Amino acid sequence: MISKYKNKLNSQKIMYAVCLAALPGCLTTIWFFGYGVIINLFSAILFAMLFEALILRVRNKSITATLKDGSAAVTGVLLGLSLPPLIPVWMVCVACFFAIVFAKQLYGGVGQNLFNPAMVGYVILLISFPLAMSTWPAPRGLVESPMEFVALLGIKLSMVNMPDGFTMATPLDIVRHRQGLTINEVWQTANGFGSVSGKGWEWINFAYLAGGSFLVFLGICRWQVIAAMLATLGVLAAAFYDGGSSLSTGSPMMHWFGGATMLCAFFIMTDPVTAPDTTRGLIIFGVGTGMLIFIIRVWGAYPEGVAFAILLMNMTTPLLNRLTQPEAANPKDQANL
Amino acid sequence: MPDALTILLTTLFVHNFVLVQFLGLCPFMGTSRQIDSAVGMAAATTFVLTLSSAISYLVNAYLLVPLGIEYLRILAVIFVIAVVVQLTEIVMKKTQPMLYQILGLFIPLITTNCAVLGVALLNIRQSNNFFESVIFGFGAALGFSLVLILFAGLRERMAGADIPKPFRGTAIGMITAGMMSVAFMGFTGMG
């Protein structure tokens, strides 16, 4: 499936390049949110590869050859980066189980899955444990002293309860449920809240943007889908932005550099398996994702819409492929006639 | 008209009949193996649903309520649906023989599509007026059509996949439908 990209790099090298490009974002997330992110990353990669190996074993397939292609590891990395740093490790395990076993291996493994595995794992956790999934630690600079490692370990292993004062809702969540305050008032009341989209988040998104540009430069992910998504999100945000009144939906900058926008744009949406193959299909895919992210963020019950938007657009991928392919190049049409 | 648009979008996405309310699952699983038959089924169901919700409203408002025989409501609504389905079948047999052959058995099955009955009864329970009933029926039908065609696309793509033996066919279809339903939960809280 990845060979569709007509790229000289093989799939293994692509996976390494993706991990490398995610590194700036990884490090920035760790810098702002602490060791929890590292534990998430390692446990997610470990569980993802474990479940992959388990299923391959059950199906009598070569374990090493498949694990080496790195796709399970990439799913682990994406889950590790998108899950909140303080959720217990067993929830990470549940997410990996649904991502690898249900979303990927039941459909025949790498290259045949319909939905983005990491996003399936994320959404299953989000609808099952909404509280744990919307509790983020306050970023560096907003807490007096970072949490001690032993205390963190206790939380990750579900042995102690979450202490007060370390956690806060994410900026998108706060803006969504601000009860009639103007955007400026929110920025002031929420204690040193960053300048654009919340402390820490704007830097994390910027780091993903920088790392992702490297992928675009290498030709690993196609820029059309990214541009279409960011443009749509920006246009919608600008159209509904009224300068920050109490009913405002947030500036384009907040939507671009808030939440998981850049992670989604460069690392999740560009998954070659679950996105359309044709350029026109990709553009429609990007526009749809941008629209859905905005709609769910602004009017939905969940503060962040990225994961849902990806899954919803994944459903349209086969149809987009079919509709945007040139007539003669579509063997399915001929078969049906 | 903003009201109509709200009803339409809510029934289409937020309260999607198949993925959120779990109605009409039999044709959803049964006619989704190929996009072509899914499109046919979607068109037929859209026609039947819209028409039957309109007629059911009229029957309820001008026949059942004035005569005080609301207890015959389910019977009357099923009768209306059956008549509309028969009409569709006759029209389709004459005008679209190819499609009729593909859908075959499924046309009469629209009668037992619980989404059709569900729409008619929900319309009465929510005391929608005539216009709202028609929009509600049309929105439900569009929602059904949308997810049916998307699902058919996904299943066509799965046809060549190396799915583990015990999960082939309906099993993986059910899992896929479950994931679609999970994705539609993103619309929770709107409208």
Nearest to B43 by CA among B170, B150, B149: B149
Task: Considering only CA atoms, give the Rg of chain A.
Answer: 20
**Confidence category of residue A53, pLDDT binned at 50, 70, 90:** very high
**Confidence category of residue A2, pLDDT binned at 50, 70, 90:** very low
Collapsing DSSP to helix, strand or coil, A140 comes out as: strand
- Quick check: B154 contacting A, CB < 8 Å? yes
Cβ neighbours around B94 below 10 Å, total: 9
| Most confident of the ranges A188-197, A231-240, B108-117 | A231-240
pLDDT at residue A337 is higher than 60: no
pLDDT at A253: 83
Q: How far is CA B27 from CA A203, B30, B84, B152, in A?
A: 49, 5, 17, 11
The DSSP symbol for A181 reads -
pLDDT at A8: 44
Give the tens place of pLDDT for each residue, B53-109.
999 999 999 999 899 888 899 999 999 999 999 988 888 888 888 878 877 677 787
Q: Stretch A163-178: mean pLDDT, rounded?
A: 70
Backbone angles phi, psi at A137, to 5 degrees: -70, 150
pLDDT at A247: 67
B153, B154, B175 ranked by CB distance to A106: nearest: B175
pLDDT at residue A255 is higher than 80: yes
Share the mean pLDDT of chain B.
Answer: 88
How far A274 CA lies from chain B's nearest CA (Å)? Answer: 11
Show Cβ contacts of residue A229 under 8 Å, excluding neighbours closer than 6 positions.
Answer: A264, A265, A269, A286, A287, A289, A290, A293
Give the tens place of pLDDT for each residue, A77-134.
999 999 998 889 999 999 999 999 999 999 988 888 999 999 999 999 999 998 888 8
Q: How many angstroms separate the CA atoms of A289 and A225, rounded?
A: 9
How far B58 CA lies from chain A's nearest CA (Å)? Answer: 35
- Residues of chain A above pLDDT 70, percent: 81
- Name the least confident of A124-128, A257-261, A263-267: A257-261
- Quick check: A322 contacting B, CB < 8 Å? yes
pLDDT at A180: 65
- Quick check: B172 contacting A, CB < 8 Å? yes
- Quick check: B101 contacting A, CB < 8 Å? no
Q: Which residue of B has its CA nearest to A305?
A: B186
Give the tens place of pLDDT for each residue, A280-327.
999 999 999 999 999 998 888 887 889 999 999 999 999 999 998 876
Q: Are B20 and B181 in contact (CB under 8 A)?
A: yes
- Chain centroid offset of residue B1 CA: 24
Question: Which ranges constitute the DSSP H helices of chain A?
Answer: 11-33, 35-58, 63-68, 71-82, 89-97, 117-128, 130-133, 149-156, 171-176, 183-189, 201-218, 223-240, 252-257, 261-263, 279-299, 306-324, 331-336
Q: How many angstroms separate the CA atoms of A257 and A250, rounded?
A: 11
B37: part of which helix (H) or strand (E)? helix B35-59
pLDDT at residue A185 is higher than 80: no
pLDDT at A102: 93
Share the mean pLDDT of chain A.
Answer: 82
Q: How many angstroms separate the CA atoms of A260 and A302, rounded?
A: 13
pLDDT at residue A5 is higher than 60: no
- Quick check: A302 contacting B, CB < 8 Å? yes
ipTM (interface predicted TM): 0.89
